[in-house]
Amino acid sequence: MSVRVTVVDEQTGDTETKQIPDGDYLLIVTEPAYAAFQVYPKTGTHVITVKGRIVRAPEDGDGQ
């Protein structure tokens, strides 16, 4: 079962739709956060670390 994802840029109104095939993944990170990847080719393992994330107060709707 694949998944179709549509993303809308709320500032420009631009949209993009992508089909995510079985066994794949999608990670959406907005600035200033970014994804730092490490890939281990022998095992096929991907380690994804999100860096630069801003922790917001619960009243901002982040829930943390």
Q: What is the pLDDT of residues 35-63, one digit of tens each?
A: 998 889 899 898 999 999 888 777 666 54
**Residue ranges in 15-59 assigned as alpha helix (H):** none
Q: Measured in Å, how far apart are the chain's first and last C-alpha atoms? A: 33
Contact residues for 56 (Cβ-Cβ < 8 A; gap 6+)? 62, 64
CA distance 13 to 50: 26
User: Whole-prediction pTM value?
Assistant: 0.59
Across all residues in the chain, what is the average pLDDT? 87
Residues above pLDDT 90, as percent of the chain: 52
The CA distance from 49 to 42, in Å, is 20
